[in-house]
Homo-oligomer: A and B are copies of this chain.
Amino acid sequence: MPESSHGAQVTGRKKMYELVNVALGETEADLAIVNGSIVNVYTGEVLTGDTVLIKGDKIAYVGKDTGKAIGSSTKVIDATGKYLIPGLIDGHTHADIVYSISELLRYAMKGGTTTIITEVYDLTFSLGYQGIIEFLRSAKNQPIKIFITAPSMVTISPVAKEHALTVNEVSKLIRRKEVLGLGESYWAPVIAGDQRMFDLITETIKARKKLEGHTSGAKGNKLQAYIALGISSCHEPITVEEVIERLRLGICVLIREGEVRRELEVISKIKDENIDFTRLAISTDGVAPQQLTTDGYMEFVVQKAVDLGFNPILAIQMATINVARHFAIDDFIGGIAPGKYADIIIIPDLRTIQAEYVISNGQVIAENGQLVIQPRKHTYPKSIQNTIRLPRNFDANDFAIRVASDRSQAKVRVIDQVTELVTREAIIDIPVSNGQLQPDASKDILKVAAIERNHLPGKTFVGFIRGIGLKQGAIASSAIWDSCDIMVVGANETDMAQAVNRIRQLGGGIVICADNKILAEISLPVGGTISTEPMETIAQKLHAIQQAATDLGCTLPDIRTTLAVLPTPAIAHLRICEHGLVNLRQNRFVELIVE
């Protein structure tokens, strides 16, 4: 036994003795919760009259024979008439978007979420391996547990692909205890035979970790081809039929109720099926600042499941033990039983998911919606701030699309925004003036550009988009999915340049401007994607940006997200990155000008 680990070993043994002795009723617990009704997520029962004894960060005992365990050094919480449920777990989210981790934790903690399992795509695309390490640092020694999945980084951007984590880097990450699996990998490129993905999958299986899936739109043979590689979950189904198809394949299905999609209502009909629900879970898949400040976090999702008619015990299981089992961390979290971390929330009744007490790692962290202790604020190092490496300011010329000057128009492949997320291809005649293709806001034909901002900074592709609705001005964002691009959409090139230049000046952010005037903005200095301001300020600034967009004619409810997903291979079907347009059905770059 190396000298250096001896101290930890002794501490470990001491904690084990203490736990045993409290369980035996021989020494005093630190915390006792008495007289409550306890939801046993293992059997599905509610058991009344038991006391939960807690020593240090763990539950020592659940029962009636407390012996000498409740003494003068024991804090006692009387839960008469109340219900104890395990701390909530968000099994699939994106905690590296827009806000710093401590701001998310403020809302998680007060609402009763005690474990977050998150993707870290945004930080990884912008900062690479260092981004992940920094996220893990920010997540360390917090009052609640944070795990990540290692980003598989499927992307349409050749630059991002070139700078993606190597197989060795993922292999190293996947072996860390905070890393529970390989992050979501969009199915189509995987079954098309992406060798790097095959190698990442192999490394993950070797490390006995989970392969998080992303099967949106897949069914039948294609779905099964993807699952056959060892994929163990999916959070993408949008109908009861899709959920059942996946449950039959043995994977865990996490129903989404968050920023990008809200599926719980439609899928709630599944509650009447007579099948095993132990692989069914609920998660947010990322939650926007506005939602957090208005609705809350996982407690809102569980409440909604209850309100939609799920048996409250099942609703709780879907946000606790079912998630823990999926990630094979149920040996230490997910239920109220001896040996598990003391992550418990006390609610007034089974149908009201409002935490009167939130206990995490044995510590009361919130009471009646107010934090008792604060999450640790992480100081992000200078090296990951102000990472927008554009070498110079843009001007209108940078967004010009030149064609032969004798042409009066050209047939152009336009990104057609059919929902706020889904796009398709529209072939549209675009007028030429001064040898340039011209946007026409009156017909809702705007320009869109993707600008690489880190590895090949300034590399730009300009195209057209329909369905945004802006009548004037431009909006740009450096908080973009699955690439390291700035995305800008505008009615004219001058405003586009101003929006991008302002982001360059801010060191990352979202900016909306018109007529040479900044209308609203948020600064995202950390990796170009994260604000260091309080959640409420972020929510307010994002609201102001959306309001400004709406005032400029934007018809979409969440322009920030619409911009963000423009390069993602996750959503059908015409996408854009700094190298051009990609048709996801054909899995290849396509020309802007058709003829």
Q: Which residues of A contact B (CB under 8 A)?
A: 1, 9, 12-13, 16-17, 19-21, 23-25, 40, 42-45, 47, 58-63, 65, 67, 167-168, 177, 191, 193, 195, 198-199, 201-202, 205, 208, 210, 220-222, 224-232, 244, 247-250, 274-276, 278-279, 325, 328, 330-332, 335, 337-340
Contact = CB atoms under 8 A, between A and B. Distances in A.
B63 A275 contact: no
Given A24-B221, A24-B225, A58-B228, 14 more contacts: A13-B195, A13-B198, A16-B202, A16-B229, A20-B225, A21-B225, A23-B224, A60-B224, A61-B224, A63-B220, A63-B221, A205-B332, A227-B337, A250-B335
15 contacts: A19-B225, A20-B193, A23-B221, A24-B191, A42-B276, A42-B279, A43-B244, A44-B275, A44-B276, A62-B249, A177-B208, A227-B337, A228-B339, A229-B339, A230-B332
Given A13-B198, A278-B278, A228 B20 contact: yes
A556 to B, nearest CB: 36
A45 B273 CA distance: 11
A43 B247 contact: yes
A264 B8 CA distance: 43
A193 B42 contact: no
A231 B339 contact: yes
A343 B21 CA distance: 45
Given A16-B201, A61-B224, A275 B229 contact: no
Which one of A16, A210, A222 has the greatest number of beta carbons of chain B within 10 Å?
A: A16
In the A-B complex, list the 7 residue pairs whose CB atoms are closest, starting with the nearest. A23-B225, A228-B338, A43-B275, A250-B337, A328-B328, A224-B338, A228-B339
B12 A45 contact: no
A232 B231 CA distance: 25
Main secondary structure of the interface of A (DSSP, over half): mixed
- Copy number of this protein in the oligomer? 2
Nearest to A207: B208
B250 A42 contact: yes
Contact of A228 (B9, B19, B325, B328): B19
B232 A331 contact: yes
Contact of A199 (B13, B198, B228, B232): B13
A311 B224 CA distance: 29
A139 to B, nearest CB: 19
B193 A17 contact: yes
A205 B330 CA distance: 12
Contact of A198 (B16, B44, B191, B227): B16
A561 B1 CA distance: 38
Given A24-B225, A227-B338, A248 B61 contact: no
Nearest to A19: B228
A194 B61 CA distance: 20
A250 B330 contact: yes
Given A20-B193, A228-B58, A220 B278 contact: no
Nearest to A38: B248
Nearest to A332: B230
Given A221-B61, A229-B339, A230-B331, A45 B13 contact: no
Contacts of A276: 42-44, 278
Which one of A20, A250, A337 has the greatest number of beta carbons of chain B within 10 Å?
A: A250
Contact of A221 (B25, B202, B225, B325): B25
A167 B1 contact: yes
Nearest to A193: B17
A224 B193 contact: no
A222 B279 contact: no
A388 to B, nearest CB: 34
Contacts of A13: 195, 198-199, 202
A338 B215 CA distance: 14
Given A16-B201, A278-B276, A249 B338 contact: yes
Nearest to A44: B276
Which one of A62, A210, A249 has the greatest number of beta carbons of chain B within 10 Å?
A: A249
Given A224-B61, A279-B42, A339-B229, A20 B191 contact: yes
Nearest to A8: B202
A201 B199 CA distance: 32
Contacts of A201: 16
Nearest to A244: B43
Contacts of A177: 208
A226 B16 CA distance: 10
A51 to B, nearest CB: 12
Contacts of A225: 19-21, 23-24, 60-61, 338
